[in-house]
Amino acid sequence: MNLRLLCSGILLASLVSCGGGNDGPAVVSSINVTSGNNQTAVAGAKVADPIVLTLVDAGGAPVGNASATAAVATGGGALGTTAYTSDSAGKVTISSWTLGTAAGDQTLSITSASAKATVTAKATAGAPSKISALPDNVTSGNIGAVLAAPGVTVTDSNNNPVANTAVTFSVAANSGVLAGTTATTNAAGVARVPGWTLGPAVGVQKLTAKAGTSASVDIAVNATLAAGCVKQPVVIGVPVAGAWTTDDCSDTALARLYDEYTLKLGAPTSFRAKVTAASGRQLRIFTAAGRVVGEMPSDAFAPAALNPLELQYTLPAGDFLVRVYTPSPAAPGSYTLSLTDDFSNAISDAATCRPIIFATFGSTVTQNLKAGNCSFMGDNEDRLVLLLKTGETVSISLATTAFSPYLILRDDRTPTSPAVASARRTSPGTASLTYTATFDGFHEIIVTSNTFVEEGVYTVTVTQP
């Protein structure tokens, strides 16, 4: 017979006591977590589902109208209510649990009489909100140096690290190149750029990292010139404020110190080079293999007082070395090297046809022949300087549909500058010559017309057959 039914009716018998025990109300022996355990929610947010608990006695029967309390045990969250009373089915429902702001496991402690239970939830990081540079990022380096991978930490609005988030990296103007432009944050919210090669600009260079739609941070590096004999990059459009020091590279043949720069040309390029410094400085450009393609020593050909020292080059794609020499063996000092794209046939000094234009094997230049440049044979001439070594053979072509071409190659070592080869046409087309050098040094390519006065566009090509 059900004793609880007997207690609720008229037939009360002295042989039983009401309350499901021998002499008192039912006692909560344990707390069962019916649903809502092990949920996941963003740190600082409410869990989605209510937490349902069942209070039961020692025999497993639900206990109604029993008191229970809930408290945040770990994680620092908050509850809307901490005191509860079970319904007739022994159920307690916790409908408002806001997790703490720290990512990780968080817990509630539930107590009823002597019974206890624990409810767990996992707090995850929210959307990327903040991005900050890592404290171990390098803050200075030599121009052209490859920096140890700089990085950032991405966090949410509560400063929790955000994992598996794409970070995009980009460099500011004249701030070098990156080995990669994206990286994904690890479990600690850290992402590092694969590699950053500093650009040629001395001073602050900048890398920008972005995560999400708005979080970004700049990483600044102070770029400096390397001490000693170290190759450093230079690019067209970015001047270099350099300085000679006693531990620079040394050219024993010239008895001069020099700084050396690497110049990478991805396509045939015509550019202007300027060196501003004390009188007597020199500028030389070599192929990566060490063959000189243009030089301006401090002699009658390039007066020491000429400042800035200004040259022009028309070079093929490839890697080149640029050397800036001291005025004298014992005269270190500062200088400015500037490569610009304002190449032109316009002559600022007609008497010496400056700025001088250097070409080399592989050079191609397209220009417009006009009156008033240089004059060797007539009024309309353009000139290119070609450095050859004894025994080297060169082929040169002058192609135009605008005038009848006259192509001259001459010995440019003496004031008389005799012609060593020439090709001439009486109608538009291509004039070509091939020549094997009998001496080391300067040769001059002269572009003019058969009548010396015609004008128009032409193309000169220099090759090594």
C-alpha to C-alpha distance for 127 and 343, rounded to whole angstroms: 51
- 3-state class (DSSP) for residue 79: strand
Q: Give how far the C-alpha of residue 12 lies from the chain's centroid of Cα atoms, to the nearest Å.
A: 89
Residue 3 dihedral angles phi and psi, to the nearest 5°: -65, -35
- Tell if the pTM clears 0.75, that is, is over it: no
Q: Could you tell me which residues are beta bridge partners of residue 159?
A: none
For 142-178, write each residue's pLDDT tens digit.
998 889 889 999 999 999 999 999 999 999 988 988 9
Most confident range, picked from 318-332, 353-367, 416-430: 416-430
Confidence at residue 141, expressed as pLDDT on a 0 to 100 scale: 93
Confidence at residue 255, expressed as pLDDT on a 0 to 100 scale: 86
Q: Give the confidence band of 350 by pLDDT, cuts at 50, 70, 90.
A: low
Rounded to the nearest 10°, the torsion over CA 159, 162, 165, 167 is 40
Confidence at residue 425, expressed as pLDDT on a 0 to 100 scale: 97
Give the mean pLDDT of the chain: 88
Confidence at residue 301, expressed as pLDDT on a 0 to 100 scale: 57
C-alpha to C-alpha distance for 83 and 53, rounded to whole angstroms: 13
Q: Give the confidence band of 14 by pLDDT, cuts at 50, 70, 90.
A: very low
Q: Give the confidence band of 282 by pLDDT, cuts at 50, 70, 90.
A: confident
Q: Give the confidence band of 89 by pLDDT, cuts at 50, 70, 90.
A: very high
CB 107 within 8 A of CB 116: no
Confidence at residue 9, expressed as pLDDT on a 0 to 100 scale: 38
For 95-119, write each residue's pLDDT tens digit.
999 999 999 999 999 999 999 999 9
Beginning with the edge strand found earlier in the chain, give each strand of the sheet holding 215-224 in spatial order. 140-142, 215-224, 203-211, 166-171, 182-184
Please report where in the chains the tokens 């400015």 appear, as a residue: 336
Question: Burial of 300 by CB count in 10 Å (0-12 exposed, 13-18 middle, 19+ buried)?
Answer: exposed
Of 410, 414, 400, the C-alpha closest to 450 is 400
pLDDT of 16 over the 50 cut: no
Q: Give how far the C-alpha of residue 88 lies from the chain's centroid of Cα atoms, to the nearest Å.
A: 67
pLDDT of 219 over the 80 cut: yes
Residue 446 dihedral angles phi and psi, to the nearest 5°: -110, 130
CB 461 within 8 A of CB 387: no
C-alpha to C-alpha distance for 105 and 123, rounded to whole angstroms: 6
Confidence at residue 374, expressed as pLDDT on a 0 to 100 scale: 66
